[in-house]
Structure 1
Amino acid sequence: MQFQRSDFPEDFLFGVATSSYQIEGHGFGGAGRTHWDDFAATPGNVVRAEHGARACDHYHRYEEDLDLVQAAGFDCYRFSTSWARVMPDGKTPNQEGLDFYDRLTDAMLERGIKPCATLYHWELPSPLADLGGWRNGDIAKWFGDYTETIMGRVGDRMYSVAPINEPWCVAWLSHFLGHHAPGLRDIRAATRAMHHVLLAHGTAIQTMRGLGMSNLGGVFNLEWASPADDSPEAAEKAALYDSIYNRWFLGGVFNGEYPANVLAGVEQHMPQGWQDDFATITAPVDWCGLNYYTRKLIKPDNTPWPSLDEAEGPLPKTFMDWEIYPDGLYKFLKRTKEDYTGDLPLFVTENGMAAPDKLTNGACEDPDRIAFLSAHAAQIQKAIAQGVPVGGYYMWSLLDNYEWALGYEKRFGLVHVDFETLERTPKSSYHALKGALRALT
């Protein structure tokens, strides 16, 4: 790594992130069916119809995995709790699920690791999907009840909590583009999900404040949008993509408003009285998390609104075919402070890359990931030097895991997982990070 801990402020936190359905093994511990199970069971949705029933078996191997977090010198472990594990029908508590997160929390604390929870990382209980899921405005109340149940059990020991991981993925990717569960391609469904996911966020923040909790934030995935050429049409569409992907969610939470260029296309689909919900959506938070991976080049096309498409970019790409564009992280850190959060602490809550990692003689060399993380760390340092209050950097991900519709073939982990034997093998990037975080000077 081209950095070490001492290159950052003394209180800067380094962490690693995972999510429940991607690693735990949803077939264990009384967890209920999720819309991801339904999506994966539908032919053509997921590579080889793979699912998360076993995943990395973190449910049984969490102590081994937390030993890896501790050994590398990470301060924080950003994990998610599964709604369908805590409440299999979406509404009734499951003692086995609550007990698991109790054990997991205590195991982190025993190792000196700060527990950083996310309440929802996409595993909606199927019975709630049957009621309309994120299209149904009642989901904010359901989510508030879930928040009270899980945080009533472990909230007293959390270092930080965010309600929902990546609202754009929950709403647009899943209800307009159809790439993730529930796999809809419906502008009205997407519009309502885009609003209700933020209403649920605000409801959860208010619920946790009512439990006496603090250090609460929001986590947003951001993707830099550049015009594919110098035409005004491409510039207009890049701005629209930016508004749909980035500004809708940050603007709703921090400014209590949605971008006019998006409302022009979707306002007719919004739920009645949506303007009145901003009092809840803008519930004050203590920090803002940014998940950043790539940029897109945007061009106009002749399809119905939003009438845009992606162009092939010239930069080197990861195994996800995503351009490697570290400058975008710096730009987002600067812009988020200036346009939305002011002096509120910012955290890079996810950043990493997929690579075709293979074991050779019991080792896994991943020099491209080391270069990727080093380049993005340099952009964080640049932002800090210019007065942006960045408080931490969490890498995605600890383990190779279930990469949603792409199954198990896209490896983001610092630790290689053999999905037949479930053996964990730290990659060279893990060892490089361990050296950087535990360096004495």
Structure 2
Amino acid sequence: MTDLKFPQEFLWGVSTAGHQNEGDNTTSDTWFLENVSPTVFREPSGKACNSWELWRTDLDLITGMGLNAYRFSVEWARIEPEEGRIDESALDHYEEMVDACLERGVAPLITFSHFTAPHWFAKEGGWLDGGSAERFARFCDVVMDRFGDRIALAVTLNEPNLPRLLSWIVPGFVHEQTRATLKAASEAAGVERYRAGNVVQPEDYDELEAGLTRAHLAAKAAIKARRPELRVGLSIAITDDVAVGDDTSLRDRKRAELYDHWLRLAQDDDFIGVQNYEQVVYGSDGPLPPAEGAAINEMGSAVEPASLGGAVRYSYEVANVPVLVTEHGVGTGDDSVRLNFLQPSLAGLREAMDDGVPVLGYFHWTLMDNFEWVGGYSNHLGLHAVDRETFERIPKPSAGEFARLVRESTSG
């Protein structure tokens, strides 16, 4: 085993998202989209992992693994279920989570928008509406006013580039399902265009990108107005795109379309969040199939530990700000694949750091199997399984392996 040593101040954690874990997020756009007909979602989220009630249990799992940080989202739909009405009990809930993290010696990292938004916001056109950035900044200010003095880092947006990235992956019929879902939602809500951040039709990509760009800048300004010294950034989805041979045009076009706008935007931020799950190898005619005998993840691509180091290196090359690995993992029902994936992935990250890439921390996605958006409960990215009836968290061997790697990387 490679001897892995990371700085003492390195952040070791897991990432989760409110809608995917908490359950019963009934005033959100995603909940509404899950329950219209037709819908692109495989199934509704329902109680999810019941983390709204069991969050202390989740924190115990985190501290039990010896982690020193936890990234979670605050749900705008819970805090502002109706425009202009703040639910103080929801703010109390998230403030209690932040304080409980600190009591346990765990740094709380807050994601202000992890895809979901209020139902009322989506009825107004979501991020495509001209006033969306101002509304989002107002929400961020409310959160900062309540407990922003105690958070460790702030992520404004989670994967604003994901819709474009998925357009390189999903078959055409998914776009038709998405259009049908948004049409059904608009009709059910009685509005001209019901729009969300992670159910997006291709014809809205440009307008969505512009709206989310404005939202990030407005949110950052609102957060910094409360705490100028707080490190603020955004997180993007990024595959490790590798070109074989002399023709790099396809790989370069993908980078230009999917990542470079956000990486350049991050040049004025305090860090860039990198969320990496796979490597894609391109020949001159398109992506190459996985090598014979390679382990395959639930996305159908090869499990490649080197992808993390490659994604981190490219992100830093363009953004030129410190990197925070805000998500990294593998979707698989075979936990032995995940267990064997962790150490070489972290070794590649350490090598990138040795080569001069400043990395602030590593957050594994995710603490437990949860609601994976349109895929429902069919995907398995957790270090713990969850009993769908009792919500018992059941540790997988990979949870123990991650804890071991963290312990050994910081000892001595």
Could you say whether these structures have the same fold, taking a TM-score greater than 0.5 normalized by the shorter chain as the test? Answer: yes
Q: For each residue in 1:273-305, what CA deviation from the matched residue of structure 2 results, as whole angstroms up to 9, or x when unmatched?
A: xxxxxxxxxxx422221111112345799xxxx
* 2:77 counterpart (65, 75, 84): 84
Work out the CA distance in 1 between the residues paired with 2:135 and 2:282. 37
My pick for the range that moved more, 102-111 or 33-42, is 33-42
Label 1:338 to 1:298 Cα distance change in 2 as closer, same or farther (>3 A). Answer: closer
Whether the 8 Å CA contact 1:334–1:383 is kept in 2: the answer is yes
* 2:29 counterpart (34, 38, 44): 34
Counterpart of 1:346 in structure 2 is 323
Residue 118 (structure 2) pairs with residue 125 (structure 1): yes
Counterpart of 2:366 in structure 1 is 397
Label 1:186 to 1:12 Cα distance change in 2 as closer, same or farther (>3 A). Answer: closer
Counterpart of 1:190 in structure 2 is 205
The percentage of aligned residue pairs carrying the same residue is: 28
Q: What are the residue-to-residue correspondences of 1:316-335 with 2, within 5 Å?
A: 316-335=295-314
SS of structure 2 residue aligned to 1:409: coil
Counterpart of 2:401 in structure 1 is 432
Deviation at 1:39, TM superposition (A): 3.9
Residue 202 (structure 2) pairs with residue 207 (structure 1): no
Deviation at 1:396, TM superposition (A): 0.6
Counterpart of 1:219 in structure 2 is 235
Work out the CA distance in 1 between the residues paired with 2:31 and 2:133. 20
Q: What are the residue-to-residue correspondences of 1:242-391 with 2, within 5 Å?
A: 242-254=255-267, 284-297=268-281, 312-314=289-291, 315-341=294-320, 344-356=321-333, 366-391=335-360
Whether the 8 Å CA contact 2:369–2:385 is kept in 1: the answer is yes
Residue 150 (structure 2) pairs with residue 157 (structure 1): yes
Work out the CA distance in 2 between the residues paired with 1:19 and 1:197. 19
SS of structure 1 residue aligned to 2:90: helix
Q: For each residue in 1:351-374, what CA deviation from the matched residue of structure 2 results, as whole angstroms up to 9, or x when unmatched?
A: 1111115xxxxxxxx221111111
Work out the CA distance in 2 between the residues paired with 1:321 and 1:249. 26
Work out the CA distance in 1 between the residues paired with 2:365 and 2:62. 12
Q: Look up the equivalent residue of 2:261 and give its one-letter code.
A: W
Counterpart of 2:389 in structure 1 is 420
Deviation at 1:337, TM superposition (A): 2.5
Q: Look up the equivalent residue of 1:50 and give its one-letter code.
A: P
My pick for the range that moved more, 18-27 or 178-187, is 178-187
Work out the CA distance in 2 between the residues paired with 1:332 and 1:433. 21
Deviation at 1:89, TM superposition (A): 2.6
Q: For each residue in 1:11-32, what CA deviation from the matched residue of structure 2 results, as whole angstroms up to 9, or x when unmatched?
A: 22211110000001134xxx52
Q: What are the residue-to-residue correspondences of 1:110-121 with 2, within 5 Å?
A: 110-121=103-114
Q: Look up the equivalent residue of 2:343 and give its one-letter code.
A: S
Q: For each residue in 1:117-176, what CA deviation from the matched residue of structure 2 results, as whole angstroms up to 9, or x when unmatched?
A: 1100111212111111121232111110111111211211101111001111266649x9
SS of structure 2 residue aligned to 1:291: strand
Q: Look up the equivalent residue of 2:62 and give its one-letter code.
A: V
Whether the 8 Å CA contact 2:260–2:318 is kept in 1: the answer is no
Residue 236 (structure 2) pairs with residue 238 (structure 1): no
Provide the alpha-carbon RMSD of the alignment: 2.5
Label 1:133 to 1:104 Cα distance change in 2 as closer, same or farther (>3 A). Answer: same
Q: Look up the equivalent residue of 2:5 and give its one-letter code.
A: D
SS of structure 1 residue aligned to 2:357: coil
SS of structure 1 residue aligned to 2:27: coil
Whether the 8 Å CA contact 1:223–1:242 is kept in 2: the answer is no
Q: What are the residue-to-residue correspondences of 1:35-74 with 2, within 5 Å?
A: 35-47=30-42, 49-51=43-45, 53-74=46-67
My pick for the range that moved more, 318-327 or 122-131, is 318-327
Whether the 8 Å CA contact 1:16–1:396 is kept in 2: the answer is yes
Deviation at 1:413, TM superposition (A): 0.7
Deviation at 1:90, TM superposition (A): 4.6
* 1:14 counterpart (12, 15, 18): 12
Work out the CA distance in 2 between the residues paired with 1:78 and 1:316. 28
Work out the CA distance in 1 between the residues paired with 2:77 and 2:258. 27
- Runs (4+) off by over 6 Å: none
Q: For each residue in 1:46-102, what CA deviation from the matched residue of structure 2 results, as whole angstroms up to 9, or x when unmatched?
A: 22x232x31011111111110110111101001011111111135421112111101
SS of structure 2 residue aligned to 1:216: strand
Structure 1: which 5+ residue stretches go unaligned?
255-283, 302-308, 358-365
Whether the 8 Å CA contact 1:133–1:139 is kept in 2: the answer is yes
Whether the 8 Å CA contact 1:349–1:395 is kept in 2: the answer is yes
Q: For each residue in 1:206-239, what CA deviation from the matched residue of structure 2 results, as whole angstroms up to 9, or x when unmatched?
A: 1011112512222121112345x7585xx43332
